Amino acid sequence: MDSREKELLKKIGEQAVRQLWREAFGGKAHGSRHLYRVNRIAMYLWEREGGDEFLILATAWVHDVSLAQGDDSDPAKVEAFTMGFLRKFEALSEAESRMIAQCAGAHETGGEDLPLEARIVHDADVLDKSGMLGVVRHIWKMTHMLKGRVLYTEKDLDELRDHLTEREGKLFSKTARNLGKILNEPRKLFFGDRTFAVKTMTWISNLDQQGVICEKVAEMLLKKSSHPSLVLLKDQLSCDFLSSFNNQEGETPK
Ligand SMILES: [Fe+2]
């Protein structure tokens, strides 16, 4: 990357984090580390899958800016909102803005004919919604946005499991699919223990409604329980699962 791109990434990252903290979920996600993790994961995927590094990392920073307007399920609305957000960065060309906004628009839904850069950010976002961190994070989204209430029923649990399973089924790259498999193995133990799962989902959802951010909830869960499903949760928070995966594959970390 050249110095213009490095400088732009720094500014885009700062503004995107600020916007997510201030405006998404009515300001309740203040302190969230999601964008930092998606950047780490996207960088890891870029090293193995290729693509344009600058476009990938810029998209990783801005992929959730449209949460400031609420629901992020409509790709066209996400793309238009992201385009508006990018206009403030004068050093960014029109073509770069369009490409980043298009990639951001596709981050939730994915799609076969997308550019490699869009597929990588999509996969990085799905990986941060994988494993038990994904469970904690989607309970947050259901509590604050999709249901707008504390989750407590068996049906809520089924919806939670079905959404996570659906997203994981759409991973594009081989590296992401392998990582997803490792992260989601312990999650089966969570959904397989329904009594524990419903109780834990309600406990998490209650904390979410009180405005406790996902990272804090995950740390509290690790202190409260030694359920086997939680084995990788700490490594997901720090992204250390990436280096463990490196070692398993016999790779040398870059
Ligand atoms: Fe995201």
- Give the C-alpha distances (Å, rounded to integers) separating 107 from 41, 102, 123, 134, 186: 14, 9, 8, 16, 25
Find the angle CA(177)-CA(179)-CA(185) to the nearest 5 degrees.
Answer: 100
pLDDT digits (tens, 9 = 90+) for 202-221: 999 999 999 999 999 999 99
| Rounded distance from Cα 61 to ligand 1 centre (Å) | 9
pLDDT at 25 over 90: no
pTM of the model as a whole = 0.92
| Rounded distance from Cα 64 to ligand 1 centre (Å) | 5
Query: Can you tell me the mean pLDDT for 20-36?
Result: 89
Strand runs labelled E in 83-197:
none
Percent of the chain predicted with pLDDT > 70: 95
| Rounded distance from Cα 39 to ligand 1 centre (Å) | 10
* Residues within 5 A (CB) of ion ligand 1: 64, 125
Give 251's pLDDT tier (boundaries 50, 70, 90). Answer: low
| Rounded distance from Cα 47 to ligand 1 centre (Å) | 20
Positive or negative, the CA dihedral 150, 229, 136, 64 is negative
Answer whether CATH 2.30.30 is correct for domain 3-118: no
pLDDT digits (tens, 9 = 90+) for 163-176: 999 988 889 999 99
| Rounded distance from Cα 23 to ligand 1 centre (Å) | 14
Domains of the chain, residue spans: 3-118, 131-249
Residue 227, SS3 per DSSP: coil
Residue 247: its pLDDT value, please? 61
pLDDT digits (tens, 9 = 90+) for 185-206: 999 999 999 999 999 999 999 9
Q: Are 183 and 130 in contact (CB under 8 A)?
A: yes
The CB density around residue 223, as the number of other CB atoms within 10 Å, is: 7
